[in-house]
Structure 1
Amino acid sequence: MSATATTSQRRGRGGRERILAAAAQLFAAQGINATGMEQVAEEAPVSKRTLYAHFRTKNDLVIAHLQDLASSGATLESVLTREDIPPRERILKLFEQPAGDANPVRGCPFIDAAAEFPDPESAAHSYAREQKLRMVQLIAALVTELGCREPVALAEQLATLADGAASRAMVLGDADYGRHARAAAEVLLERAERVGSPG
Structure 2
Amino acid sequence: MKERILKTADRLFYLEGIRAIGVDTIAAEIGISKRTLYNHFPSKDALIAAYLERRFVQPPPSAPAPSAQTAVAQILATFDSLERRFAAKDFRGCPFVNAVAEVGNHDRAVKKIAIAFKESRRVWFRERLNELGVAEADALATQLVLLVDGSIAQDLVRDDPAMARAAKEAAKVLLRNAGVDVGGDAKPMASDKGTSQ
More RCO (CA 8 Å, sep 6+): 2
Give the TM interval when normalised to the shorter protein. Answer: 0.7 to 0.9
Q: Partner residue of 1:161?
A: 147
Distance 2:169 2:83 in 1: 18
Distance 1:52 1:16 in 2: 10
- In structure 1, stretches of 5+ residues that fail to align are 1-14
Instruction: Give the percent of matched residue pairs that are identical in Structure 1 and Structure 2.
Output: 34
Q: CA deviation at 1:120?
A: 5.7
Distance 2:148 2:176 in 1: 17
Q: CA deviation at 1:86?
A: 2.8
Distance 1:196 1:164, change over 3 A: farther
1:62 to 48, 53, 64: 48
Q: CA deviation at 1:38?
A: 0.7
Residues paired across the two proteins, number: 182
TM score, norm. by length of structure 1: 0.81
Higher helix share: 1
TM score, norm. by length of structure 2: 0.82
Correspondences of 1:1-199 after superposition (within 5 Å): 15-76=1-62, 78-79=63-64, 82-95=66-79, 96-97=81-82, 102-119=88-105, 122-194=108-180, 197=194
- In structure 2, stretches of 5+ residues that fail to align are 181-191
RMSD of the TM alignment (CA)? Answer: 2.2
Distance 1:175 1:43, change over 3 A: farther
Native 8 Å contact 2:83 2:164 kept in 1: no
Distance 1:65 1:196, change over 3 A: farther
Native 8 Å contact 1:113 1:124 kept in 2: yes
Q: CA deviation at 1:84?
A: 4.4
Native 8 Å contact 1:120 1:126 kept in 2: no
